[in-house]
Structure 1
Amino acid sequence: MRRFALILALVPGSLAAEEFRILSGDDILAALTDRKLAYEGGATQTFESSMQTHYFSNGPSTGTWAVRGDQYCSVWPPSDIWACYNIEQKGDVIRFIGAGGDLTDGTYVE
Structure 2
Amino acid sequence: MEVNTSSFRKAKNKVEKLKRFYTHLAVYMVINTIITTVKVMSNTNSGETFEEAFFSFSTYASWIVWGLVIAIHAFSVFGLPRIVGDDWEERKIQQFMNEEFEHNKK
TM-score of the aligned structures, taking structure 1 as reference length: 0.24
Please identify which structure carries the higher helix content.
Answer: 2
- TM-score using structure 2 length: 0.25
**Which of the two has higher C-alpha Rg?**
2
